[in-house]
Structures are given as structure tokens and as C-alpha cells.
Chain A
Amino acid sequence: MSNTTIKVPTMQEKIAKGETPDILFWVGCAGSFDDRAKKITKAIVRILNHVGANFAVLGVEESCTGDPAKRAGNEFLFQMQAMQNITVLNGYDVKKIVTGCPHCFNIIKNEYPELGGKYEVIHHTQLVQQLIDEGKLKVQGGAFKGKKIVFHDPCYLGRGNNVYEAPRDVISKLDAELVEMKRSKANGLCCGAGGAQMFKEAEKGNKEVNVERTEEALSHNPDIIAVGCPFCNTMMTDGVKHFNKEDKTKVMDVAELIANANDL
């Protein structure tokens, strides 16, 4: 990835300049704090910069959507977070949001409206697909030409919201060989992170979910396991390490594939 500096305006800066961004990039907690996920965040920004998108982030005004609390049963904490975020978003009169995480995507899109936060929300793979369709982004296969890629469906993008094609469409532009696991799309298997499992030890059993899932992905002997979620990314990366396959198989977000292929 090239080292051209990225340009990331915040909402506050934009408003101060009297500008109104077309779209808000919701970075999410993983995208903001997790070292691996920050790279995905930057890949998304590079794509946005490349097409000259008029976007902004909330920066320090962003706070967790409340998803991990909600899925863990803490509805109070979720609604406190949600209403706080909605106050900020509505204060900036935000209309359209792209998220770097399927959990943020799902909860803002589906569970915020009833609490007063109504926005058009898309996942970053949908944004990339739109940019390609509109002709704003041309994708070359680049380094990924002929590479074997398996795509792991994030539960809250796929089953949760029926978005199966956007990430596949985008990957198909890379001239790579896209392979489907037996458990894919509506039958996809969770990476093991969802439902707040990311934040706790697994319950007693005979296997880790991420090992089960990565095993399935690795059985296709892929060059790349493509994901669309920072938590899946962590889980699958750990899974690949578990099988000592880091040299052969990389775990990458769809946004990174595109940014890398285009040498952004």
C-alpha cells in the first residue's frame, strides 16, 4: 500500500468550513482502536479519497453503537449509547452513513430508527460496489489476478441483512478465482465473535468456533480469506495462525483487496 497521506475530515471541521458532507463514514470501535482493523479503516479512506468523495468522520464525537452491549443483553447500556449517538448524528443532520463493520451497519440501520435515528445506511462493501457501478472506481486485478479467494460471510451482513452479492461482486472484479465454502451465504457459519463472544472466553466445548470455520476455509487452500468485518478478521486470522498457515493464506478485508489492487 502506498504511503500517500490520507485525508480524513471530521464533521466538525466540515461544518466549520460551511461544507456539508454527502456521507458520514462510521468507523466503529474496532476500526478506531484495533491495530489490525485500523488498516481496514485506512483502506476504506483511501478508496474514498481516490474517488474524491465528500465524506467526513465523527472523530472523537463517535462512540460505540452499543451493539456488544445489546447482544450481551444489556439493553440499557445499548439505548444510552444509541441515543447519545443519535443526538450527535441528528445534530449534524446526517442523511447517509457508510460503516466499516457489519455490526455497526446492522444496528444503525435497523435498531436506531425506532429510537429516533433514521439514516440511509450502507456497508463499505456496498459503497465500493456502488462506486464501481457508477464508474467512479475502476478496479484492476493487480496483485490478485488468478489468486484463489474464499469469502466468509459476516452474519450481520449476510443472514442478518441479506447482503450476499455486494462483497462477491466486488471480489469478482479482481480477476481472481472466487471459491465458495460449503457453508456460505444464508448457510454461512459464524466466525465465533458475534453475540459478544469476542469479549469473553468461549464456553466449555471441544473446539473453538473460529478454528472450525477457518478449517473449512483452509480446506480450499486459498491464497486469501476475504472478510467484511473487523471481528471476523481477528477470528479468521487467529484461525490461520492456529493451523500455521500464515505464510500461505492471508486474511484481508474486501476494502483492502480493492485498495491494494489499485495501489491506493
Chain B
Amino acid sequence: MISSIIFIVLFLGSSIFFYLNSKKIRRNILLGKDISITDNKGERLKTMILVALGQKKMFTRPIPAILHLFLYAAFVITQIELIEIVFDGVTGQHRAFRPSLGGFYTFIVSFIEILSVLAFIGTIAFLARRNLLKVPRLVKSELNGWPKLDANIILIMEIILISFIFMMNGADEVLYSRGQSHAENLGDRTFGLAISSYLGPLIYGNMPDAGLHVIERIGWWGHIIMVFSFLNYLPFSKHLHILLAFPNTYFSNLKLKGQFDNLFEVTDVVKPNFDPAYQPVLDPNAVIKFGVKDITDLNWKNLLDAYSCTECGRCTAACPQSITGKALSPRKIMMDTRDRMEDVGKSMDKNGGTFVDDGKTLLGDYIKHEEIWACNTCNACVQECPVNIDPLAIIMGLRQQLVLEQSSAPNELNGMFSNLENNGAPWQFSPADRANWINEN
């Protein structure tokens, strides 16, 4: 009875806390400009299934892909067991589904156990890779501090979680074989769990019943508390991608990567020069801002991108400018965008929902000009991203701001602009000489 109440309080508490934090994230994402993405539902669904669920783009690097798949599959499949845990927790029963599910129960829990072992192996490998092997994309400076800690915390949580599962199942197997488990006795002497029916007796075989009951309870409570903690850790972590990868891939850019958007604010002004019949749509007296200075100038998809970023650095590892030691790192662009969103969000939390200007902007205070001007617009980062994030869209918006609002392009580019404007070519050649090549030898 008491334990049911504790469980219900924990369950509701963590659900409410998660709900409140999710609402903040939603609010932050909606700080972005509104755009409508309602086309091609079928293709979008397919992209989501292939890229988010099927992890298609991970498989360009097969070894991390398989290790990651272990963690991911264990994560997804373990949720099935949660149904029973929550049911048991609320009703005070123990393995309530076993009598009615029979062999299927054994199969599901065994499956979870096997995946948990694989996930355990994956986790150890990832910890080693991050902390011992020093893979270049995982030791870049933008990961110093919290991002690095975040990555390690989640891996360690995974190990603890898995350990709890095997404490719970292993001790319970031994108890059941002695007829002492709180699970309903079905007349057999084992649950037949793929791992614990062996591992349990091996580790706990000599322990007295009382000790086993304690271990089983520690495992059970530990497991569920880890799950609740994990859930509530997500909103503060790069691991939010576990959830946001789905909407983010659904709303992927489906156009050719080479095709950049044309700014309508510009078309509306330029078009009348060429087409006198064209009637401008935008109010000529309204103040129109070009490009991106802060997160509110980005659209909600750019901001969803930032919250979906796994900080894996595949983009940065493929970026020609990062490879050659320039300040630009597409991963950092995404991390900065998220950091800025969080900072703005915190200010809103503190000030009753309104953002109090802190004198900072995404452009300049988070992302430096030097980074923006290094980009080759080559789309390698977009191609690589396992959850279809588009760092280039943000970079382009920032460039537009620098050129159109602040006139602060590098000098050589200003030179190129004036050549283009005066001569119709990026170099200083006369337009009258454009066809000279025809008669040259």
C-alpha cells in the first residue's frame, strides 16, 4: 500500500515535471518564425521511418551504427516492460502479466535482457571511444565542459539502469526457484529468462532469501527511478534527439540540397523593376528585417533542428573548413543556436514570460563572423547529419544579415559585389568584353 503510494507520487511527479519542461522546449521552438510544412506527407513519413526509426544515415559508419543500434533498440524495446512495471507499481502486484502471457512473457523479457547485454557492450565501447580513443570529432573544443559531461552521464546512467535490470531479474529468478518470489507461482521452478536464469544463480545462488528480497527491490526501484530520471534528464541534454529525431526528420527539407530559398521580402521589392504590372504584397511602410540576427529571425524548423542535434559531430568531421582547422564547425552552429534559445527561454521564465534584452544576439555573441564567412556552402554537413539537420540554412541567414543589414562583409566580397553590380561579373572585366573569347585563339 505504502509502496503503491510512493510509486504513484513518483510517477505523477516525474510525468508532470517532464510535461512542464517539454512545454518550455515547445515554447522556445515556437519563438522561431512560422513556416508551413504540410506538403508531401507520404514522402515525409517515409523519410521519418527510414532516417529516424531505421537510422539509415548512421550506416555510412557501420561499427558505431551497430553499437548505437544496440542502445537504441534496448531503449525502445525496454519501454514495453515499463507497462508492467507501472501496472505492478500502482497495484502493488508482482510480475502481474506473467500468468496470462505465459511463454510470450518469457520471450519479451528475455528479448529485453539480450538487448540489455548488447546495449551494455555498446555503452562500454562508446565510453572508451569518447574517453580513451579520442576520435577527433568527439574531442573538439566545442564539446568541452557540459557537452562532454552530458555524453558521459547518459552512458553511465545506461550502465546503472542495465545493472538494476539484472539485479531485479537475477534475484527474482533465485527466489522463484526457491518458491519465495512474490510473483504468482505457476508450478514451474524458473521464469526461464534468457540471461537471468543463468546469471541469477551464478551471482546470487548462495544468498539467503531476505537478502535477495532486498536486492530484488533495489533493482526494481532503481530501475524505475533511473527511467524517471532519464526522462527528466532528456530536456536538458543532447539526448533529446531520441524523441525529436522523429518530428525533425518528418519536417526535413525535401528539396534538392543545391536549391536555396529565395527571400520573398527581396523579390517583392526587386520585381517591380522588371515587371511593371507586379503589385507588391508587403506593406512598404513596415520595417522589414533581412537575414538572421537572433533566434527569433530563424524559423521553427531551424530551432527544432538545434534541439534535435545529437552533437555527434559527423557534420564537422565532413566539413572542409573544420577539417582544415578553421573556426567554423557546423555542430557548433547548432549547439550555439540551442544555447541561445535556452538563454532566451531562461530569461522568459524569470520575467513572467517576456524576454528581457540581455544585449546579446546569436550573431556575434554566440557565432562569430569568422565562422560564418568560412563556409563553402558545400552541403557536406547536411548530407552527413543522421537526423537531417541543416546547419547551412542558419549560416546563410546569418550571412544575409551581415550583408544586407550590417554591410559588414569581408572587403574582398564587397569588391566582388561591386564588380558584379557594375560589370555583371564578379571580376573587373567590362561586360562589352564578355564574348571576346569567341574570337581569341
Q: Taking beta carbons and an 8 Å cutoff, which residues of A are in contact with B?
A: 3, 6, 8, 10, 27, 29, 31-33, 38, 41-42, 57, 59-60, 62-64, 66, 68-77, 79-81, 83-84, 86-87, 106, 110-111, 114-116, 155-156, 159-162, 186-190, 192-209, 211-213
Contact = CB atoms under 8 A, between A and B. Distances in A.
B91 interface: no
A161 B373 CA distance: 24
A194 B258 CA distance: 12
Contacts of B328: 203
Contacts of B289: none
Interface string B281-320: 0000000001100000000000000000000000000101
B380 A189 contact: yes
12 contacts: A41-B437, A60-B432, A64-B420, A71-B396, A79-B266, A81-B420, A159-B380, A160-B256, A192-B376, A201-B410, A203-B321, A205-B374
A37 B370 CA distance: 30
Interface in B377-428: 377-380, 383-384, 396, 398-404, 409-410, 412-413, 415-417, 420-421, 424-427
A194 B378 CA distance: 7
A205 B399 CA distance: 20
B38 interface: no
Given A155-B379, A159-B383, A199 B400 contact: no
B37 interface: no
Given A31-B437, A63-B424, A115-B271, 4 more contacts: A32-B435, A192-B376, A199-B415, A203-B321
B257 interface: yes
9 shortest A-B CB distances, which residue pairs? A160-B258, A73-B399, A63-B424, A206-B325, A195-B377, A110-B259, A190-B378, A205-B325, A59-B435
A203 B420 contact: no
Nearest to A28: B425
A30 B262 CA distance: 24
A57 to B, nearest CB: 7
B215 interface: no
Q: What is the size category of the interface that chain B forms with chain A?
A: 35 or more
Given A60-B431, A83-B271, A194-B378, A201 B258 contact: no
B279 interface: no
A173 B263 CA distance: 43
A27 B318 CA distance: 31
B270 A161 contact: no
A32 B321 contact: no
A195 B378 contact: yes
A57 B435 contact: yes
A29 B426 contact: yes
Given A83-B271, A203-B328, A75 B404 contact: yes
Contact of B320 (A62, A156, A161, A212): A212
A70 B260 contact: yes
B323 interface: yes
B112 to A, nearest CB: 36
Interface of B: 60, 255-260, 262-263, 266-267, 269-271, 273-275, 290-291, 318, 320-321, 323-328, 370, 373-380, 383-384, 396, 398-404, 409-410, 412-413, 415-417, 420-421, 424-427, 429, 431-438, 440-441
B437 A83 contact: no
A75 B266 contact: yes
B427 A111 contact: no
Contacts of A66: 420
Contact of A72 (B60, B273, B399, B441): B399
Contacts of A196: 377, 413, 416
Contacts of A81: 420, 424
Given A29-B425, A63-B424, A199-B426, A189 B320 contact: yes
Nearest to A189: B320
B324 A206 contact: yes
Residue in A73, A200, A208 with the greatest tally of chain B CB atoms within 10 Å:
A73
A68 B378 CA distance: 13
Contacts of A207: 323-325
B373 A203 contact: yes
Contacts of B413: 72, 196, 199-200
B327 A203 contact: yes
B327 A204 contact: yes
B263 A75 contact: yes
Nearest to B416: A199
B259 A111 contact: yes
B326 A194 contact: no
Contacts of B260: 70-71, 111
Contacts of B376: 155, 190, 192-195, 197, 209
B429 to A, nearest CB: 5
A83 B258 contact: no
